[in-house]
Copies of this chain bind each other. A is one copy, B any other.
Amino acid sequence: MSTMSELRQRYSGLQARGLKLDMSRGKPSPTQLDLSAGLLDIPSGPLSLYDDPDGSKTDMRNYGGLAGIKPMRGLAADFLEVDPDEVIVGGNSSLSMMYDTINFALHFGVPGGTGPWGKIPSARFLCVVPGYDRHFAICEEFGISMINVGMDESGPLMDDVEKLVSDEKVVGMWIVPRYSNPSGQVFSDEVICRLASMQTGTDFRLFCDDAYRVHHLTKSPRKQKNMFEAFQQEGNLDKLLLFASTSKITHAGAGVGMMAASERNLEWYLKHKGYSTIGPDKINQLRHYIFLRSMDRIHALMDQHADLLLPKFQAVQTVLDRELGSSDLATWSRPEGGYFVSLDTKPRLAGKVVALAAEAGVKLTPAGATFPYGADPNDSNIRIAPSFPSVEEIEQAMEVLAVCIMLATAGQTG
């Protein structure tokens, strides 16, 4: 063994080399990663496999990058009209970001809140109805009670909302602000301002699923107030969680989810998310960035989607108009975007109509699915999803639907 002074000397010599090595994590080397080059087939372009958020040259193929890659966060910021620091991009599902947020809130509480939601007796959510079944299902799974709030053509009935959210037990509310699922409303600027300024408890979070933000069926989409800015101006940004994804822009099952929120909320989210994963699939984010690149390209792509969707939505209207237009048997939406037509039969008939249609070989969304607990108090709402079938199939199905409505109504009154 060397003497103490020899060691000190040697150590000083090593110090003097000024090394900067990271031996701390078990990460494969770039050469190892090159072995799988065949897995990757991104069109070559100006963007390399390296992201450079902080000069650290993150390798897109390796671990890390919990908040997502810089170029895709930039595009998501343009998409949601927020700053890049105010948005993170994740895996293939924005639903899972919503689920995670509620799960974290149940275990740990939200920033500035009263504590874990799981310990708040009878914590509850407001649910604008009709709405999206997967939102309501998360609450039901976790035992969070749900309160229905109705809508008119401007969005949720804000007098009711304002009264209900003043209860501190109301910790959240689900909305789809543009082309609402299923009824197609574009929330008015007044509704957005009232949402942004309403009085709530400190736990409250507005879960804003902006799933159809650019999914127009018209060449001149209605302008809508920037919700993020509205909350910011009111000093209520911590109350807003804004979600979206590319699922209905690129590939439904292999897109990129995104979430915009206050810095405080994002920090909180990432802190807890970091226990479940080292990071999202950055290669898929890169692929999306290269493919989409700019809002101009996204809008051009969405125009192509609209060209395909419009004849289908028109087919729904044409057949329903022809079959039911001169009667009072049903009312239905004429959406300017989104993915659904919402139809209301007379009370207590939707279940019967759906069952009749099923027996005629037409599977519709189960009656009640658009309401919490699958329970439509009027049993009248039916969600029509025309995007997948062909125009001819839609025409046939709508005819079946119209006839079932007529039949069920007649059966009830006759």
Contacts and interface: CB of A to CB of B under 8 A. Distances in A.
Contacts of A397: 19, 21, 23
Contact of A400 (B19, B304, B393): B19
A217 to B, nearest CB: 13
Contacts of A312: 29
A141 B116 CA distance: 13
Given A36-B251, A254-B284, 9 more contacts: A4-B410, A17-B396, A23-B365, A23-B394, A23-B397, A27-B385, A33-B251, A38-B43, A253-B280
A35 B304 contact: yes
B141 A272 contact: yes
Contacts of A91: 91-92, 281
Interface stretch (A94-102, A228-236, A261-269): A94-102
Given A26-B340, A31-B308, A99-B275, A21 B254 contact: no
Given A26-B181, A288-B39, A396-B17, A407 B8 contact: yes
For A10, A33, A36, A301, the residue with the greatest tally of chain B CB atoms inside 10 Å of its CB is: A36
Contacts of A360: 11, 14-15, 19
14 contacts: A14-B403, A21-B363, A23-B362, A24-B363, A24-B366, A25-B365, A32-B387, A41-B43, A61-B251, A61-B254, A63-B252, A91-B91, A103-B103, A281-B281
A295 interface: no
A250 interface: yes
B407 A7 contact: yes
Tell me which of A247, A278, A393 has the highest count of chain B C-beta atoms within 10 A of its own C-beta: A278
Contact of A26 (B11, B277, B387, B410): B387
> How big is the A interface, by class?
35 or more
Interface in A394-414: 394, 396-397, 399-400, 403-404, 406-407, 410, 414
A248 interface: yes
The 3 A-B residue pairs with the shortest CB-CB distance in the complex, in nearest-first order = A41-B41, A19-B361, A99-B276
B61 A414 contact: no
B23 A364 contact: yes
A363 B19 CA distance: 10
Interface string A334-361: 0000011000000000000000100111
A26 to B, nearest CB: 4
A323 B131 CA distance: 68
